[in-house]
Amino acid sequence: MSLSSSATTLRKIIEDPNGFVCAPGVYDGLSARLALAAGFETLYMTGAGTAASVHGHADLGVCTLNDMRANAEMIANLSPSTPLIADADTGYGGPIMVARTTEQYARSGVAAFHIEDQVQTKRCGHLGGKQLVDITTYTTRIRAAVQARKRIGSDIVVIARTDALQSFGYEESLARLRAARDAGADVGFLEGVSSREMCAQVVRDLAPWPILLNMVEHGSTPTVSAQEAKELGFKLIIFPFATLGPAMTAMRETLAKLKRTGLLGLDPELTPQMLFRVCGLDESVKLDAEAGGAAFDGGVDLQEK
Ligand SMILES: C[C@](O)(C(=O)O)[C@H](CC(=O)O)C(=O)O
C-alpha cells in the first residue's frame, strides 16, 4: 500500500459528486478503535481532544507539532486504509514550519488536515475573543502547505479553515476562503457558522469548492445532522466531540459512583478480554502464533478451575 493511499481514497470521495464524508472525532487509540469498530470510514483527530487527553489542558495552542504528529501517526496507522483528517491548528509557525507539518503529517499516514488563520496563541474556535493573522499571512500558510504537498508528491488534502467570522464577519471570511482556494487549498472550512442560512450560503458562495462543516454541539453552530449537512451541500462533516464528550460523561459518572459506593459497577460484559479485543487482542495473538511464537498457546481467556 502506498503512503498516500488513504489520502487518495479521501480525495476520490471528495471529488465524487455523490461522495460525502462523516468523520467522528477521536483523540486516542481506544476512541479510534471504537470508531473503526462502529463502521466509520473516515476519522477526525480533534486537537481539542488531543490537548485534553495528552496534556490535560484546554484547547489553547498547548499542543506542539510533535504532539499532534505523534498522536495522528498512531491513530492513522491503526487502520492505514481508513482516511484520517487531522487538526493542524495554525501550522505551528511560519511557512517553514507549515511545510514541515504538511510533510510530517503526510509521511505519518494522515489523509487530510486543516490549517487556520488564528494567531499562534490560538484557542478553540467556539470560544470568544479570537485573534487572527492578516489575510496575507494566512494565504502564505496555505501556500506553504500546498507547495509542500506537491514537492513530496503526496495526495494529502489541504483544508483551509478561517476563524474570521466572529471578529470580522461573513464577507471577510468569504474573502479569506476565496484567497485560500486560489492559493491551492482543496477544501474550505468556515469555523463557527452561526445559522442554517449561513450553512447554505457558504456552500453556494464557494461552489463547486468542497466545504466542511464542523459540528460542535452547544458551540456557535446550530445543530445540524450528517444527513442535513449533506442536503445543505457540504462535502464533509466532522464531530470533534463524538468520543470525548461521551467519555467525559461516563468517566465522571463512574468516578462519582466509585467515590460514593466504593465500587465501579461496570457492565458485566466489560471484561479485560472484551476491552483488549477492541484493541486488536486476537490479531496480536494470531500474529505471534504465525511467527512461530508460543506465548499465547493456551489462549487468554480465564480457565474454569
Ligand atoms: C475542531 C477543533 O479544532 C478540534 O480541535 O476538534 C475545535 C473543536 C472544539 O474545541 O470545539 C474547534 O472547533 O476549534
Summarised one tens digit per residue, pLDDT across range 205-262 is 999 999 999 999 999 999 999 999 999 999 999 999 999 999 999 999 999 999 999 9
Residue 300 alpha carbon to ligand 1 centre in Å = 39
Q: Please give the share of the chain, as a percent, with pLDDT higher than 90.
A: 96
Q: pTM here?
A: 0.96
Residue 208 alpha carbon to ligand 1 centre in Å = 25
Give the pLDDT of residue 3: 47
Residue 123 Cα: closest atom of ligand 1: 14
Here the cell at position 179 is 484567497
Residue 49 alpha carbon to ligand 1 centre in Å = 8
Q: For ligand 1, is residue 193 a contact (CB within 6 Å)? A: no
pLDDT digits (tens, 9 = 90+) for 51-81: 999 999 999 999 999 999 999 999 999 999 9
Q: For ligand 1, is residue 216 a contact (CB within 6 Å)? A: yes
Tell me which of 45, 124, 132, 190 to substitute to probe ligand 1's pocket, judged by most ligand atoms within 8 Å of the beta carbon. 124
Give the pLDDT of residue 245: 97
Give the pLDDT of residue 304: 76
Residue 303 has pLDDT above 90, yes or no: no
> 102: closest CA among 118, 86, 125, 117?
86
Tell me which of 214, 223, 239, 244 to substitute to probe ligand 1's pocket, judged by most ligand atoms within 8 Å of the beta carbon. 214
Give the pLDDT of residue 4: 47
| Reported confidence tier of residue 2, pLDDT bands at 50, 70, 90 | very low
Q: For ligand 1, is residue 125 a contact (CB within 6 Å)? A: yes
User: What's the average model confidence in pLDDT over 153-171?
Assistant: 97
ipTM confidence: 0.97
